[in-house]
């Protein structure tokens, strides 16, 4: 059964049980086949009273014929009919559709997220399972005898299954899930059920009957719950300790974090003031002891000074106001229909944010319409927003890159933040923004995250795109550009981002620096950072602050 045929089969099940399941995808093969998953609608919902179970099959290279897939799905459907209230079951019927390499081991994958020449599927599956954080994983194998084996987490946590043998493959998926802190969260219970095809339903029911009606909660989901419950300003404080402490090179990846540290204190005056630390940090640049830019600066360099606006607000020192104006003056209008200098002539979405944050703030401090006119003309002349509401990366790269659309959303929301009501372009730019936000909401995963490539099912869940989407949506709710019903999508985005930030400010799966790529595969192959990352941390800091501003305005997303 090909992935397309499997998808069609799963879609039929979803159509029959729309309140129980949706068709989703949890990875991509080297041949660009999306790996389908029958995803329970409560797969990411904790505290519902239902134990969240993920059933996975087909990891090895043995033939996985349609009859076995149908047998597995029929078995799950049988349990759905009888145990609807006890278990929220999701199914990956064939985790290894290409069958080129055995995906049974080794786990956890140490590198190559999400580009590996041989087994990218293992990277996708590992990350998907860890961040779905099910209460129990049941791996299905077919053999000549029936048996049940448990990983160490199951033996320690589920007494009714503890009398079964422990899985012995130390590098296997279940062993890796059951020990240590998978992806920094915590162990996940796992059971390997080996059965003859004709006995699968009986053996599967047997495992579930031993679970009874107990409400399983995996240590991994416990960690997620702890993170999800953190207040936005608590998360802001965590991020502010790690990011925004350097300005070398002068680039938006550094400047956003610095601006975020100042915004945190402006929003919460009881927090420790970063004024002295930041003024000391930027003084060599402000006083011209150090060159701001080693070469002719691009938009990314200019946006590295976005903090000057906030520092002027905090200190009242006119030098910071002058710095914003001086930086904005580097933008010069292009000829009719052309991008302003130094924006990319191909109208890259990055420039929508970079120009938006500098020109918008320059207008705010001067009320000189020359800045806002350059900015709005640039946005209206780009013509890279397509009929579906999404943006190409640029004119020569007609690909729906996740962070590229995040830049567009952030740029439009930055512009609208400073754009006067009377400006004749405001209604058109609001329409562009609203179309984009509606389109992005349609690509949002049940985890709350946006994918790396928005129109490619199974591409990895990318951190920065989700943060930018969240910032832009928060602004829209605060300023009334969006319908209040969008709070649900925003809450999901905040949940997904919040649980991917640890107590040290490390993040999960932020796409590395990405220039314009030649094809979709090159975007899919961009390495994903798991750990400290200035770009991701700065954007997460802005996102947490926007959520805090919403809360102060009376719009609370915290359960």
- Cβ neighbors of 535 (< 8 A, separation 6 or more) are 252, 253, 256, 464, 510, 513
* Residue 157: pLDDT over 80: yes
Q: Read off the pLDDT band of 59 (50, 70, 90).
A: very high
Kind and range of the H or E element at 476? helix 463-479
- Round to whole Å and give the CA distance between 482 and 477: 5
Residue 552: its pLDDT value, please?
A: 93
Per DSSP, the residues of 171-220 read TSHHHHHHSS-GGGT----EEEEEE-GGGHHHHHHHHHHHHTT-----HH
Tokens of 258: 């610095």
- Predicted confidence at residue 335, as pLDDT, reads 87
Give the residue from 177, 214, 59 showing the smallest Cα distance to 122: 59
Confidence label for 240 from pLDDT (cuts 50, 70 and 90): very high
Tally Cβ neighbours within 10 Å of residue 495.
20
What ranges in 329-388 are assigned the alpha helix state H? 350-366, 369-381
**332 neighbors 370 (Cβ within 8 angstroms):** no
Closest among 429, 422, 407 to 351, alpha carbons compared: 407
Q: What is the pLDDT of residue 556?
A: 76
Q: How many residues does the chain have?
A: 559
Residue 3 — very low, low, confident or very high, per pLDDT cuts 50/70/90? Answer: confident
Backbone angles phi, psi at 38, to 5 degrees: -85, 100
- Of the pLDDT bands very low, low, confident and very high (cuts 50, 70, 90), residue 215 is confident
Task: Tell me if the pTM is above 0.85.
Answer: yes
At 20-35, the pLDDT tens digits run: 999 999 999 999 999 9
How confident is the model over 345-358, as pLDDT tens digits? 999 999 999 999 99
- Cβ–Cβ under 8 Å, residues 120 and 173: no
| Average pLDDT of span 102-130 | 94
Domains annotated on the chain, with CATH: 3-225 (3.40.630.10), 229-552 (1.50.10.10)
Q: Is the pLDDT of residue 473 over 90?
A: yes
User: Where residue 329 falls among pLDDT bands split at 50, 70, 90?
Assistant: very high
Q: Cα separation of 495 and 445, whole Å?
A: 12
The per-residue pLDDT for 2 is 79
Per-residue pLDDT tens over the stretch 508-559: 999 999 899 999 999 999 999 999 999 999 999 999 999 999 999 998 775 4
Q: Does the pLDDT value for residue 263 go beyond 90?
A: yes
Average pLDDT over residues 72-97: 81
| Residue 83, pLDDT score | 53
- 160 three-class SS: helix
pLDDT by residue (tens digit) across 359-415?
999 999 999 999 999 999 999 999 999 999 999 999 999 999 999 999 999 999 999
Does 66 or 55 have the greater pLDDT score? 55
Is residue 164 classed as helix, strand or coil in its secondary structure? Answer: coil
Phi-psi region of 27 (alpha: psi -120 to 50; beta: other; left: phi over 0): left
With cut-offs at 50, 70 and 90, classify the pLDDT of residue 75.
confident
Q: Which two tokens stand for residue 12?
A: 């039929």
Residue 61: the pLDDT is 79
pLDDT attached to residue 68: 74
CA distances to 12, 62, 324, 461 from 356, in Å: 45, 54, 12, 26
Mean pLDDT of 189-210: 92
Choose from 158-167, 188-197, 550-559 the range with maximum mean pLDDT: 188-197
Q: Place 88 in a pLDDT band, splitting at 50, 70 and 90.
A: very high
Q: Give me the chain's average pLDDT, please.
A: 94
Ramachandran assignment for 13, one of left (phi > 0), alpha (psi -120 to 50 degrees), beta (any other):
alpha
Residue 20, pLDDT score = 92
What is the band of 280 on the pLDDT scale with cuts at 50, 70, 90? Answer: very high
Burial class (CB in 10 A: 0-12, 13-18, 19+), 60: middle
From CA 99, how far away is CA 30, in angstroms rounded? 11
**pLDDT at residue 85 greater than cutoff 80:** no
Residue 71 has pLDDT above 90, yes or no: no
Q: How confident is the model at residue 222 (pLDDT cuts 50, 70, 90)?
A: very high
pLDDT exceeds cutoff 80 at 324: yes
Residue 72 pLDDT grade (very low, low, confident, very high; cuts 50, 70, 90): confident
CB 74 within 8 A of CB 201: yes
């Amino acid at each position: 059964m090909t992935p397309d045929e499997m998808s069609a089969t799963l879609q039929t099940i979803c159509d029959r049980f729309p309140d129980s399941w949706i068709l989703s995808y949890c990875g991509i093969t080297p041949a660009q086949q999306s790996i389908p998953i029958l995803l329970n609608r409560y797969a990411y919902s904790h505290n519902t009273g239902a134990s969240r179970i993920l059933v996975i099959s087909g990891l090895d290279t043995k033939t996985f014929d349609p009859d076995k897939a149908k047998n597995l799905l029929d078995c799950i459907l049988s349990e759905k009919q009888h145990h609807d209230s006890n278990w929220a079951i999701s199914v990956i019927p064939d985790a290894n559709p290409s069958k080129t390499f055995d995906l049974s081991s080794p786990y956890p994958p140490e590198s190559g997220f999400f580009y590996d020449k041989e087994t990218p599927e293992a990277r996708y599956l590992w990350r998907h399972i860890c961040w779905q954080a099910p209460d129990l994983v049941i791996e299905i194998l077919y053999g000549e005898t029936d048996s049940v084996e448990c990983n160490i987490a199951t033996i320690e946590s589920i007494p009714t299954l503890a009398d079964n043998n422990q899985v012995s493959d130390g590098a296997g998926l279940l062993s890796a899930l059951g020990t240590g802190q998978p992806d920094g969260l915590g162990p996940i219970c796992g059971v390997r059920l080996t059965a003859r095809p004709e006995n699968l339903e009986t053996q599967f029911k047997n495992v579930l009957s031993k679970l009874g009606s107990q409400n399983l909660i995996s240590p991994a989901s416990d960690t997620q719950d702890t993170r999800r419950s953190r207040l936005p300003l608590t998360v802001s404080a965590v991020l502010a300790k790690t990011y925004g402490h350097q300005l070398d090179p002068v680039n938006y990846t550094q400047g956003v974090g610095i601006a975020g540290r100042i915004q945190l204190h402006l929003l919460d005056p009881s927090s420790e003031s970063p004024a002295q630390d930041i003024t000391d940090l930027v003084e060599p640049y402000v006083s011209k002891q150090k060159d701001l830019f080693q070469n002719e600066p691009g938009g990314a360099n200019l946006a590295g000074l976005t903090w000057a606006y906030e520092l002027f607000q905090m200190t009242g020192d006119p030098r910071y106001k002058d710095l914003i104006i001086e930086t904005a003056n580097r933008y010069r209008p292009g000829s009719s229909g052309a991008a302003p200098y130094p924006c990319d002539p191909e109208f890259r979405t990055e420039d929508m944010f970079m120009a938006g944050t500098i020109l918008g703030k320059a207008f705010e401090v001067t009320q000189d319409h020359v800045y806002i006119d350059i900015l709005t003309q640039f946005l209206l002349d780009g013509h890279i927003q397509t009929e579906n509401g999404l943006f190409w990366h640029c004119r020569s790269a007609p690909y729906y890159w996740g962070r590229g659309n995040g830049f567009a959303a952030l740029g439009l929301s930055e512009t609208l933040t400073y754009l006067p009501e009377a400006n004749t372009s405001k209604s058109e730019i609001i329409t562009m923004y609203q179309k984009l936000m509606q389109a992005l909401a349609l690509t949002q995963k049940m985890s709350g995250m946006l994918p790396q490539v928005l129109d490619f099912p199974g591409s990895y869940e990318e951190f920065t795109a989700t943060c930018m989407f969240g910032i832009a949506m928060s602004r829209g709710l605060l300023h009334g550009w969006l319908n209040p019903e969008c709070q649900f999508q925003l809450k999901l985005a905040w949940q997904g981002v919040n649980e991917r930030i640890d107590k040290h400010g490390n993040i999960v799966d932020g796409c590395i620096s990405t220039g314009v790529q030649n094809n979709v595969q090159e975007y899919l192959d961009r390495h994903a950072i798991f750990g400290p990352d200035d770009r991701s941390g700065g954007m997460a800091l802005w996102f947490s602050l926007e959520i805090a501003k919403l809360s102060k305005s009376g719009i609370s997303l915290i359960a």
